[in-house]
């Protein structure tokens, strides 16, 4: 459906299994990096998916307000989050940008492809391996991965209903049974990706528990 269509579809349940997650290492021009990739197919057209991902009027309905010059070479700012520079842009297929937050720079790349009757959204988030790996050791890939999972879930609900699912609409959702189950399972799946990446299972599962506790406000499991 497009944003102009009326929908009587019920809000879909949050489904961690709808998203594929991968973790890999890569040598970039900036140095050694960890690359997190999330992929999901949505029941919409590539053009509508592109619009949902780039239209400043739609972004606040499922993600966050984004200001700036949203075109090639332009600067952008996600409210309360990262900002950066749009480095490539090929509508309605792909864009890439720097992702600058807390004094650190990473990179995001978005690709949209047709997938049967739907559209496939792939997000790559590339971050340099820091000298101090204590944050990664403590939380693992779920620290950023679960945040992206929540965005992918919000996008799914928005595309299915056209509704806004951020702000007051989402207040406290992470403490509901659905929210707790979704975050816990996404965190678990990132731990499994971390194990495939080569991290010892005990360390990956400890990072999983700390990540789940961070996003849900609960104490880590013993």
pLDDT given at position 5: 40
> Would you place residue 11 in the very low, low, confident or very high pLDDT band (cuts 50, 70, 90)?
low
Query: Each residue of 192-213: pLDDT tens digit?
Result: 999 999 999 999 999 999 999 9
Strand partners for 22: 37
- What span, in angstroms and rounded, lies between the C-alpha atoms of 163 and 174? 18
| Cα-Cα end-to-end distance for the chain | 45
Beta-carbon count within 10 A of 4 CB = 7
Judge contact between 22 and 13, C-beta under 8 A: no
Judge contact between 51 and 58, C-beta under 8 A: yes
Give the Å distances, CA to CA, from 30 to 105, 118, 171, 213: 10, 35, 38, 32
Query: Each residue of 163-181: pLDDT tens digit?
Result: 777 655 566 888 899 999 9
What is the CATH code for 17-216? 3.30.530.20
- How many CA atoms, within 13 angstroms, populate the side-chain half-sphere of residue 62? 26
Query: Each residue of 32-82: pLDDT tens digit?
Result: 999 999 999 999 999 999 999 999 999 999 999 999 999 999 999 999 999
Query: Each residue of 112-157: pLDDT tens digit?
Result: 999 999 999 999 999 999 999 999 999 999 999 999 999 999 999 9
The structure's pTM equals 0.91
Joined tokens for residue 85: 């520079």
Question: Does the pLDDT value for residue 7 go beyond 50?
Answer: no
pLDDT given at position 65: 96
pLDDT given at position 4: 37
pLDDT given at position 163: 77
Q: How many helices (H) and strands (E) does the chain have?
A: 6, 8
Judge contact between 99 and 91, C-beta under 8 A: no
Strands, sheet with 118-128, edge to edge from the N-terminal-most edge strand:
20-28, 31-42, 118-128, 104-115, 94-101, 83-90, 75-78, 66-68
């Amino acid at each position: 459906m497009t944003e102009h269509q009326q929908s009587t579809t019920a809000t879909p349940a949050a489904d961690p299994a709808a998203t594929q997650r991968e973790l890999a290492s890569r040598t970039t021009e900036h140095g050694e990096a960890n690359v997190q990739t999330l992929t999901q197919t949505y029941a919409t057209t590539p053009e509508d998916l592109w619009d949902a991902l780039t239209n400043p009027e739609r972004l606040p309905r499922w993600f966050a307000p984004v200001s700036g010059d949203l075109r090639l070479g332009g600067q952008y700012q996600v409210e309360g989050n990262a900002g950066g520079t749009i480095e490539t842009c090929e509508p309605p297929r792909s864009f890439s940008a720097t992702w600058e937050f807390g004094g650190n720079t990473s990179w995001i790349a978005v690709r949209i492809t047709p997938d049967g009757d739907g559209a496939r959204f792939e997000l790559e988030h590339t971050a340099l391996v820091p000298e101090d790996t204590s944050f990664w050791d403590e939380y693992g890939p779920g620290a950023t991965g679960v945040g992206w999972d929540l965005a992918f879930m919000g996008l799914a609900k928005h595309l299915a209903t056209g509704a806004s699912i951020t702000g007051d609409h989402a207040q406290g959702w992470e403490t509901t049974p659905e929210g707790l189950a979704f975050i816990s399972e996404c965190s678990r799946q990132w731990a499994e990706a971390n194990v495939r990446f080569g991290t010892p299972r005990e360390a990956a599962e400890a990072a999983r528990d700390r990540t789940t506790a961070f996003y849900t406000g609960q104490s880590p499991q013993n």
